[in-house]
Amino acid sequence: MQPVGGPSILSPAVRGRQPRLIHSPVQSLIQSLTQSMSRLNADVALLLAAAVWGVAFLFQKSAMEHIGPLAFIAARGMVAALS
The answer to whether 72 touches 63, Cβ cutoff 8 Å, is yes
Distances (CA, A) of 14 to 8, 18, 20, 73, 82: 10, 9, 11, 52, 44
The answer to whether 8 touches 15, Cβ cutoff 8 Å, is yes
Could you give the CA distance from residue 9 to residue 2 in angstroms, rounded to a whole number? 12
- From the DSSP assignment, how many helices (H) and strands (E) are in the chain? 3, 0
Residue range 29-83, pLDDT digits in tens:
777 777 666 778 888 999 999 999 999 988 888 888 889 889 989 998 999 999 8
In this predicted structure, the answer to whether residue 14 has a pLDDT above a threshold of 80 is: no
Tell me the residue length of the chain. Answer: 83
